[in-house]
């Protein structure tokens, strides 16, 4: 049986994609080096369906050759990457090596094994500071950190593989991803998470104090405005993107967000309201490489993929609450 390859399937978003495709009855192979992902997530997911796991590193082409020789792969969802803006401002070399060279190695392994369908996880960080809002896909790209730049470089490589090697691709530029599986089975296990809503819910449940990591920016309440998309809405868009490619849809770049912006302070208040708690807050060193406001124009996703976000902020907060109640300390390994 031909399989869907999910790179980074042991990570936060990748594991939700694995769950989604297994629940649809499809066979999945995960490729992950477990540098930032969790084996336990895959052990849980193996109970759902036909899941194979190959431990390997994108930076090691022989690991990729082994993967493609052992499994018949039809399409690729490429999540594996490092994705911490702040870390990328301190160690840019990590980002260019892992994200750009790692992705290039994957594209080469695909080319050599005649696998041409790929959905690539990109980010709104490729746009940098917004020149207008909401941001559509034509907005100039001007990444303000090496993480965003590494994704932009990878997008460019992929475009040439489309042009010259007949790759069929969709580049999905995600905005801020939040939430967990609505059944509480899997979620984001980072401790603390790098993601605002995750940390606010952890704070609300008293798992650890909440820290404002954002810099002071030029917005009405002085905190950054972002667009929050639920992880289950996000992975559903990947399934639609694969269908679109298989039906002959053209290579394209598509934003995935909710289409509205919330400031950091607004999200924290929402979490307090939904969980009926007051979150204890501490101040820490602000992150570097952040910008004031971004939120997405999602018309292209609606038109091409026939996709609409279905989850509200409340749904995301409640799914996180369920996940952290089930796994207050995240996965054990
Ligand atoms: N989380 C967000 O809000 C967000 C927003 C925009 C884009 N993205 C993109 O979505 C993707 C997934 O993000 P996430 O939040 O799930 O991250 P994550 O860190 O939870 O997962 C990444 C996974 O990739 C694996 N990995 C990393 N480098 C690897 C390598 N060289 N070889 C094999 N495996 C490797 C890690 O072990 C991990 O399991 C990333 O590409 C990220 O850039 C995430």
Instruction: Compute, in angstroms, the gap from residue 220 CA to the centroid of ligand 1.
Output: 32
C-beta contacts of 306-312 below 8 A and 24+ residues apart: 306/240, 307/236, 307/237, 307/240, 307/256, 309/229, 309/230, 309/233, 309/258, 309/259, 310/233, 310/236, 311/179, 311/230, 311/232, 311/233
- 181-223 residue pLDDT tens: 999 999 999 877 788 999 999 999 999 889 888 888 999 999 9
Nearest one of 115, 17, 32, 105 to 73, comparing CA atoms: 115
Q: Is 268 within 8 Å of 279 (Cβ atoms)?
A: yes
- 240-297 residue pLDDT tens: 999 999 999 999 999 999 999 999 999 999 999 999 999 988 878 888 777 899 999 9
- 107-138 residue pLDDT tens: 999 999 999 999 999 999 999 989 999 999 99
- 55-66 residue pLDDT tens: 999 999 999 999
12, 38, 95, 147: which is the annotated catalytic residue? 147
Domains of the chain: 3-177+230-256 (3.40.50.720)
Q: Is 142 within 8 Å of 129 (Cβ atoms)?
A: yes
Residue 122 CA, closest ligand 1 atom number: 7
| pLDDT score at 307 | 98
Residue 34 CA, closest ligand 1 atom number: 37
Distance from C-alpha of 271 to C-alpha of 314, rounded to nearest angstrom: 8
324 is catalytic: no
> Which protein residue has the closest C-alpha to ligand 1 atom 21?
11
DSSP state of 256: E
């Amino acid at each position: 049986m031909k399989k869907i390859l999910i790179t980074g399937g042991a990570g936060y978003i990748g594991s939700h994609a694995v769950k989604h495709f297994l629940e649809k009855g499809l066979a999945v192979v995960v490729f992950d080096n477990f540098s930032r992902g969790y084996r336990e997530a895959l052990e849980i997911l193996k109970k759902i369906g036909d899941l194979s796991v190959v431990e390997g590193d994108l930076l090691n082409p022989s690991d990729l050759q082994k993967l493609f020789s052992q499994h018949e792969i039809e399409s690729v969802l490429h999540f594996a990457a490092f994705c911490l803006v702040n870390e990328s401002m301190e160690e840019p070399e990590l980002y260019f090596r892992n994200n750009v060279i790692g992705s290039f190695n994957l594209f080469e392994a695909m080319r050599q094994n005649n696998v041409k369908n790929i959905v690539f996880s990109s980010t709104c960080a490729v746009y940098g500071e917004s020149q207008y809002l909401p941001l559509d896909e034509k907005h100039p790209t001007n990444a303000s950190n090496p993480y965003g730049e590494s994704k932009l470089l990878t997008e460019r490589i992929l475009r040439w593989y489309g042009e010259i090697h007949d790759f069929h691709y969709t580049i999905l530029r995600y905005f801020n991803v939040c939430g967990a599986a609505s059944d509480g089975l899997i979620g984001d296990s980072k401790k603390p998470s790098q993601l605002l809503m995750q940390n606010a819910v952890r704070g609300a449940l008293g798992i650890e104090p909440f820290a404002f990591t954002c810099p002071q920016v030029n917005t009405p309440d002085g905190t950054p405005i972002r667009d929050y998309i639920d992880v289950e809405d996000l992975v559903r868009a990947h399934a639609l993107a694969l269908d679109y490619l298989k039906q002959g849809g053209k290579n394209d770049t598509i934003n995935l967000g909710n289409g509205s912006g919330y400031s950091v302070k607004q999200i924290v208040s929402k979490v307090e309201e939904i969980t009926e708690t007051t979150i204890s807050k501490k101040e820490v060193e602000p992150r570097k490489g952040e910008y004031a406001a971004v939120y997405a124009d999602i018309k292209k996703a609606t038109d091409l993929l026939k996709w609409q976000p279905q989850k509200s902020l409340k749904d995301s907060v409640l799914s996180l609450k369920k996940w952290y109640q089930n796994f207050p300390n995240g996965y054990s390994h």
